[in-house]
Amino acid sequence: MELKLQNQVAIITGASSGIGAGVAKSLAAAGAAVVINYPVPAAKDGAEAVLAEVVASGGKGMVAQCDVSKEADVQKMFSDTVKLYGTVDILVNNAGLQKDAPLEEMTLDEWNFVLSVNLTGQFLCAREAIREFLRRGVDPKRSKAAGKIIHMSSVHEVIPWAGHANYAASKGGIMMLMKSIAQEFAWKKIRVNSICPGAIQTPINRNAWDTPAALKSLLTLIPYQRIGEPEDIGNAAVWLASDDSDYVNGASIFVDGGMLLYPGFTTNG
Ligand code: BGC
């Protein structure tokens, strides 16, 4: 059986752990060659471990260090990828972080750090991807589209989040970045969408699930009554990257167990 992403090349930013690692494995299982990006030397082992899993399952890929907030780093990651694999078909703009603080205590550094990785990083990577998609154009042997960008947003592109103003602002920004790029390049057959995860069990939100009391409290926010797994996001990414979603463009796809359903209103209001 032909795999959905056969002959395609995907860059996944922030893929040495968490959601990015899960997405890299899912895309590789669907046949894509995966570029597993990691931000700093300390994360190299994590990226190599993801690559080892990919290879053990019959997939292929490479690791690439790059701080997505640095223009030169991003350009080098894309040119290295094109050198090795010839082009890029799929960008999963996933790298993101939290630096939580009550607003009155939030430093400018905490604000800038989150915005530069979560939002500016997604701009820089999307711009390089768009340049490569425009250069290559549609190749029907690869995909019906000239390229696909998947932004990793969050339920917090919609749900305000006290104590996380920098993070929520970055995700709200991603929503309009995604829609604007989608509108600008749809006629070039480039598809741009977001996945908006709810609570997925990864290091970023460890304190929300690592004790029974924390998990119980978290589940009051999730109608489907389970925490998400990276694979839940990986499955959505494979679909958004494949021609199965060829008519989907400019959409925010919420993969959140119903977190956005205002669960507090189930028995109230
Ligand atoms: C955050 C997690 C949080 C989830 C649901 C995500 O975007 O990174 O820390 O658990 O949203 O609130």
Q: For residue 98, which atom of ligand 1 is closest to its CA?
A: 8
Average pLDDT over residues 63-67: 98
Q: Is residue 103 part of a domain?
A: yes
Does residue 204 line the site of ligand 1, with CB under 6 A? yes
Residue nearest to atom 7 of ligand 1 (CA): 154
Decide if 266 is inside a domain. no
Active-site option among 38, 85, 167, 262: 167
Q: What pLDDT is attached to residue 127?
A: 99
Mean pLDDT score across all residues of the chain: 98
The answer to whether residue 4 is domain-embedded is no
Q: What is the number of domains present in the chain?
A: 1
Residue 268 falls inside a structural domain = no
Does 1 fall in a domain?
A: no
Decide if 233 contacts 255 (C-beta within 8 A).
Answer: yes
Task: Tell me how many degrees the CA angle 58-191-120 measures, rounded to the nearest 5.
Answer: 90
Residue to mutate (ligand 1; options 154, 207, 221; most atoms within 8 A of CB)? 154
213 exposed, middle or buried (CB, 10 Å; 0-12, 13-18, 19+)?
Answer: exposed
Range of the domain at 47: 9-258
pLDDT reported for residue 125 = 99
Q: Residue 106 and residue 168: Cα distance in Å, rounded?
A: 14
CA 227 / ligand 1 centre spacing (Å): 11
Q: How far is CA 195 from CA 54, 147, 163, 216, 237, in A?
A: 22, 17, 23, 25, 8
pLDDT at 2: 84
Dihedral sign for Cα atoms in the order 36, 89, 172, 252: negative
Q: What is the mean pLDDT of residues 101-115?
A: 98
Residue 2 lies in a domain: no
**How sure is the predictor about 269, in pLDDT bands with cuts at 50, 70 and 90?**
confident
Residue 171 CA, closest ligand 1 atom number? 7
What atom in ligand 1 is closest to the CA of residue 218?
A: 10
Res. 139: pLDDT tops 80: yes
| CATH number of the domain where residue 68 is located | 3.40.50.720
| 167 carries an active-site annotation | yes
Percent of the chain with pLDDT over 70: 100
Residue 34 placed within a domain: yes
Q: Is the CB of 227 under 6 A from ligand 1?
A: no
In a domain, 204, yes or no: yes
Is the overall model pTM greater than 0.95, yes or no? yes
When pLDDT is averaged across residues 185-192 and rounded to a whole number, the result is: 98
Residue nearest to atom 3 of ligand 1 (CA): 199
Q: Distance between CA 130 and CA 194 in Å, rounded?
A: 16
Q: Tell me how far the alpha carbon of residue 126 lies from the centroid of ligand 1, in angstroms.
A: 23
CA 30, CA 80: separation in Å to the nearest integer? 23
